[in-house]
Amino acid sequence: MPFKFIAAIKPGIWRIIRLCAVFIVPLIGVIALLSSLVQHMVTPLLLNWADRDLDERANLIAKVLQEPAATALRLGDTHTLTQQLERVTQDERLLSAAVCDQSQHLFAWSQRYPVSQGCNAASGQGENASDSPANNLHVNLIDVPLSTVDNARMVLVHDRNYAWRRGELTQRYIVWVFSALGTCLAAVLLLTAHWSWRSWVKGVRRILLSDGTTEGTAQASPEIAPLIPDLRRLLRSVNEDRRILKDTTIEWRPETLKLLLREHMFGDEVMVVSNREPYIHELQPDGRIEVIRPASGLVTAVEPVMRACSGTWIAHGSGSADDRVVDARSRIQVPPEGIGDGSSMQGTYTLRRVWLSQEEEQGYYQGFANEGLWPLCHIAHVRPVFRDEDWKQYLAVNTRFADAVVAEARSDNPVVLVQDYHFALLPKLLRERLPRATILTFWHIPWPNVESFGICPWSKQILEGLLGSSIIGFHTRYHCQNFMESVDRFMESRISREDATVTYQAHRTKVRDYPISIHWPPPAPNAAELNDVARKAMRLQHGLPMAHKLGIGVDRLDYTKGIVERMLAVESMLEQQPQWRGRFTFIQVAAPTRSTLDAYQRLEASVRQQAQRINDKFEQLLPGSPPAIILLIEHHDAASVLTYYRSADLAMVTSLHDGMNLVAKEFIAARDADDGVLILSRFAGAAGELREALIVNPYHIGQTAAALTRALDMSLAEQQERMRALRKRLSDFNIYRWAGRMLLDAADERQHIRVQDRIVQVASASTPRRLHMPWQRRA
């Protein structure tokens, strides 16, 4: 491929070609112009000099001949005068000579004199002859004084050809001299440019290796001097970033994020775009407006970051009373008063709502996002459905959100955090309209393998849209690899696996893994008595004995969550371990979601039916005993979910496939007495981090049932050992660290661009044309 071939040419050769184009070609032009100017000037100058020489020679000859000519004229001695004229015309430049008497008749003349022209020899070519090789005669008419009244005249005809010959020779010399001069100059220039380039690169490298310290930069050459402050700042920030990221003693809090934004982003504007809004205003039958926090992992994760950044969150206004509470520009300050989650999180931010028509919502959200991309990216064996009409709406809605971002942006280079699979096309649309923005896209769900991804009819457009991002983030390295492989398969791009970047149409996108997390420290630390309260309350609420063991599952009612498989595992465990019948209940909290879609309706029916069947089965085996499964298909607020987490002895997070799964982390955060067991699917992104959980394959019902038994039998000491390790990991990697890593990378990117801009400015100020530096990004 031509592109690959060109890329294969050594960069050194390209540099020389570029230098030639920038320096040598103009130099040759200037030299050629100068040489042709000099050539044009030299011939008339030489002819002029030759004419003056010939005049002087003619006067000299005339002086010598004047006396003999006057005598010969007085004596009428033609013969002697002719001989004298023959003698003087022996000179190679004097062609002929003649003497005319007072009546201007030829009196005597040399052999080659044009007699036919009489005393007006070479008329028209006299002293004012034009400068052309055809006019090669120079004629002097000089008076010979005889009397005071009349004079005779001497005619001297010189050959001017020698001057032309001299002119030609000089021109040839000039060409040679200028060519030699040009070659020498070009060589010197090339060497100097090459040498200064090398010393420039060496200087920059020395600064980089010196970590930007003053000693290291002191020896830098003067050309680099304007860059030193920027390079120092860049290095300081990179070192600081490394320190922050490695330093596990740093406590990541909202304040740390605020500090980071101030120090590294210089208070730059931060915007979030997501489909789901963090607060939904719903109109109640009694006319009240109730604020609901949606059951969405995305909202759980991004909300604390936004509180820390105080930016603008742009989302679909989906609540029935959303439009009643916003201002004229569809904005509202959030969190609304009185809404708290018990945490110490502070700060408010702007929520800008985007209104969608029913057709838009149907095509973009229900259709393309949830019937197409969601099953495509999750391997849960539900077939994705792709419709042309849905795609059109998806594109239209992405464009509408791009309009909203542009309208809300206060600067031309905001940091835009684009969230999830609802906005795959948004990064490109934003890049076109805000080319200087830092666009950080986070894909909250898995990225499938390349064969699965290829099912999507618009796979290329989706990749192209995402590659408008400055950085694209996934939960795990595995998802990053899948993404890079998809790009490799479908796009004509350059992929660097070493630094995990994709360059598409001269724009570079970093691909990074940022495992998402939750707020830490937990809302009410070390509240052992609260745990007791929760345990009692929950058992009372469901009519269970106080010693009863509880398992908990908290999910959106989604087919990716493995709820049916989980219930089958409970059934299997109770079958194999009859001692737990009537002593263990599994509570499944399932928040209804996307319930207009067939797949979700079928799932709900199946979950209800399985729960009923299993309960009936064990009711028959042990009549009057507490149910094996309690199924709660309804929304629960954060406080009541927390009570469930606290009251349970174990949690089951057995998704068939999940990007990360924050329920697993929320359960751990709630277990401040360090007890309880987490059973976790190996297909959830969280399994990579939470290795002290009991890891299961949710498709293997027997294995999950065995894990349940093991959890119920686990000693308190082992539970605590595992739980402490899990909690330690969460305290090290909380949501602020997740956001901090992304924002630091964004800050790094912005600083990098600032330095590039400065380098280009310096380079263009010191060279006649703008040079393209190898690391310079062509926007």
275 versus 643: smaller Cβ distance to ligand G6P: 275
Per the CB < 8 A criterion, the answer to whether 152 and 73 are in contact is yes
593 versus 615: smaller Cβ distance to ligand G6P: 593
Q: Which of 296, 452, 509, 517 binds ligand G6P (CB under 6 A)?
A: 296
For the chain, the C-alpha Rg in angstroms (whole number) is 47
Q: Which of 182, 203, 212, 297 binds ligand G6P (CB under 6 A)?
A: 297
In whole angstroms, what is the distance from residue 587 CA to residue 546 CA? 15
Give min distance, CB of 442 to ligand G6P, in A.
9
Q: Which of 350, 398, 593, 654 binds ligand G6P (CB under 6 A)?
A: 593
Looking at residues 302 to 361 of the shown chain, list those that interact with ligand G6P (rule: CB under 6 A).
Answer: none
84 versus 274: smaller Cβ distance to ligand G6P: 274
297 versus 319: smaller Cβ distance to ligand G6P: 297
Give min distance, CB of 297 to ligand G6P, in A.
3
268 versus 666: smaller Cβ distance to ligand G6P: 666
344 versus 358: smaller Cβ distance to ligand G6P: 358
- Of the candidates 641, 689, 685, the one whose C-alpha atom is nearest the C-alpha of residue 667 is 641
Q: Say how far residue 478 (Cα) sits from the centre of its chain.
A: 22
366 versus 709: smaller Cβ distance to ligand G6P: 366
- Residue found under tokens 């004199």: 113
Give min distance, CB of 707 to ligand G6P, in A.
24
Q: Say how far residue 258 (Cα) sits from the centre of its chain.
A: 25
Per the CB < 8 A criterion, the answer to whether 265 and 255 are in contact is no
In whole angstroms, what is the distance from residue 629 CA to residue 636 CA? 18
- Of the candidates 731, 638, 578, 573, the one whose C-alpha atom is nearest the C-alpha of residue 253 is 731
Neighbours of 584 (CB within 10 A): 22
Q: Which of 363, 659, 676, 685 binds ligand G6P (CB under 6 A)?
A: 659
504 versus 738: smaller Cβ distance to ligand G6P: 738
Q: Say how far residue 484 (Cα) sits from the centre of its chain.
A: 16
3-state helix, strand, coil in the chain (%, to 5): 55, 15, 30
Give min distance, CB of 719 to ligand G6P, in A.
28
* Rounded alpha-carbon distances, angstroms, from residue 752 to 757, 776, 779: 9, 10, 14
Tell me which amino acid residue 419 is: Q
Q: Which of 94, 298, 487, 730 binds ligand G6P (CB under 6 A)?
A: 298
Looking at residues 413 to 472 of the shown chain, list those that interact with ligand G6P (rule: CB under 6 A).
Answer: 420, 444-445
Take residue 474 and report the two structure tokens written for it: 């996934």
What backbone phi and psi angles, to 5 degrees, belong to 214?
-65, -40
84 versus 275: smaller Cβ distance to ligand G6P: 275
Q: Which of 253, 276, 646, 665 binds ligand G6P (CB under 6 A)?
A: 276
* Rounded alpha-carbon distances, angstroms, from residue 759 to 167, 245, 751, 755, 768: 51, 28, 12, 6, 15
Tell me the window of 103-111, 112-120, 290-298, 466-474 that interacts with ligand G6P (CB under 6 A): 290-298
Buried b (16+ CB within 10 A) or exposed e, 597-616: bebbeebbeebeebbeebbe
Looking at residues 248 to 267 of the shown chain, list those that interact with ligand G6P (rule: CB under 6 A).
Answer: none
| Number of residues located near ligand G6P, criterion CB under 6 A | 11
Give min distance, CB of 594 to ligand G6P, in A.
6
Give min distance, CB of 718 to ligand G6P, in A.
31
Give min distance, CB of 679 to ligand G6P, in A.
20
In whole angstroms, what is the distance from residue 88 CA to residue 61 CA? 8
Give min distance, CB of 561 to ligand G6P, in A.
10
Tell me the window of 211-219, 230-238, 296-304, 326-334 that interacts with ligand G6P (CB under 6 A): 296-304
Per the CB < 8 A criterion, the answer to whether 439 and 412 are in contact is no
Give min distance, CB of 421 to ligand G6P, in A.
7
Tell me the window of 184-192, 295-303, 671-679, 740-748 that interacts with ligand G6P (CB under 6 A): 295-303
Per the CB < 8 A criterion, the answer to whether 664 and 694 are in contact is no
84 versus 655: smaller Cβ distance to ligand G6P: 655
The residue ranges that bind ligand G6P (CB under 6 A) are 275-276, 296-298, 420, 444-445, 593-594, 659
